[in-house]
Structures are given as structure tokens and as C-alpha cells.
Amino acid sequence: MPIEEIDLTIERKKLPEKVKNYLREANHRIDEFFETEKNRKVPRFIPCNDELLYHWLSAINDSDLCLGKVYCEWGSGYGVGTCLASLLGYESYGIEIEPSLIEASRKLAEDSNISVTIIERDYMPEGFECYEGSGGAELIRPENYTYQERSELRPGYEGMDADLDEVDIFFIYPWPGEQEFVLEFFQAVAADGTLCLIYLGDGEFGLYQKTADPFD
């Protein structure tokens, strides 16, 4: 798989005031979401370490790794990562399927005066499917799909101004055991040079970059 893991030094700098205020409000609403047990309707929603996520996104933004300024979050939940990317100057999209989280994330972004686009749908684009086999999740691609033959199969989402191969950085907090599947999906839809930031849980992140396939 032409994907390289990137070792990036993360500095926990003082948070900008707007970021600090946003995270305070976001965490307050998420805490309330759990305290009122509204999360029982969306049991797969588990927040990541949002302050550490900001430091990762900030370090990526300060590096020369990212080719451009388009960010897409797969399974955006409360939209925290999506809003943090917007605060760092990215054209920022969140993909979420749960209506209650979509409504909450849109309201949080609006109340915080942060410009993002939250799209209501599963993050698998048309033609792609996820098959839960005995060995874990497996990706089913459109028949005969290759990145080079994408002229009429460019994957994207309705309501998003960029195709997936125009995204510069993806972020996802996958369900345990789905990391390999996520990287396979990332490799299938992303352009060479694109980054994928994955939250692994317990304060751990992995950063990956798609490289050119030597056999293409």
C-alpha cells in the first residue's frame, strides 16, 4: 500500500483565545449531551482528545506537509475537528450520518461564528461499500475503479464544493479495529500527497500520507 506514516513533532503551545473559548463551549455541550443520556441514541459517538487534535492540526498547518487548505472529517460528530480546522484557515467539511449530531454540530458552529459545512450522509461515497467479513471490515470499490480512470467516477459528496481527490487532509476517529480499512479507503479516494490524520484513542494519533504507487 503506497501510504507512508509521518513522524511529526507536536508542541503543546498556548491555545489562541478563540480556540480556547470554542473548546470550552463545545466540551460543555458534549458533557451535557452525555449527562442527559442523549448519547444512548448514538452509542458509536465517542469524542476524541480535542485539545490534542488542535495541536496536531496546528503542527500540520505550520509544516510543509499539506498541499492545500481543504479539510474533510469522516464521522464529524459534534463537528469539533471540523471547526478547529476552519479556525486554522481550512475550507472545512464534516461528514456525519446521525441527525441529532448534525443538528448539534451545525448549531455549535453557528453560535461560535465558525464557517463549516456539515453534510448529512455516510462517508462512503456512491459506489463504495463496507463489507463486515470474518476478518474485519473490507472495502468494496466500484467495478474497475482506479484512481487513474476516475474521469467519470470521481468520488465526492453532494453539497461539498471539492471532490475527494481535491481534499488535502482527512481526519477520522475510527471504531476499534477499523484502522486498516480506513487506510485502504483513504488510499482509494485520495490524491497523491494527501494526508490522513487518525485518532487511535488514549491521546494517540497517527499521521499518514499517500505516496505515488511505483507500479502505476
- Does any domain span residue 216? no
Mean pLDDT of 185-198: 93
Mean pLDDT of 194-199: 97
Task: Quickly state the pLDDT bin for 82 (edges 50, 70, 90).
Answer: very high
φ/ψ bin of 86: left (φ > 0), alpha (ψ from -120 to 50), beta (otherwise): alpha
pLDDT number for residue 55:
97
* Between 62 and 188, the higher pLDDT residue: 62
Domain enclosing residue 91, as ranges: 3-210
Task: Quickly state the pLDDT bin for 47 (edges 50, 70, 90).
Answer: confident
pTM assigned to the model: 0.87
pLDDT number for residue 79:
96
3-state secondary structure of 194: coil
- Does any domain span residue 66? yes
Model confidence pLDDT, tens digit, residues 84-123 = 999 999 999 999 999 999 999 999 999 999 999 999 998 8
Q: In what order do the strands lie in the sheet with 117-120?
A: 3-5, 204-210, 195-201, 169-172, 70-74, 91-96, 117-120
Mean pLDDT of 39-65: 87
Sequence-ordered list of residues with C-beta below 8 angstroms from that of 49, at least 6 positions apart, any chain = 199, 203
3-state secondary structure of 5: strand
- Does any domain span residue 215? no
For position 145, which CATH number holds? Answer: 3.40.50.150
Strand-pair category, 136-140 with 129-133? antiparallel
- Does any domain span residue 196? yes
| Residue among 192, 99, 116 nearest 159 (CA) | 116
Task: Quickly state the pLDDT bin for 38 (edges 50, 70, 90).
Answer: low
Give the chain's domain count. Answer: 1
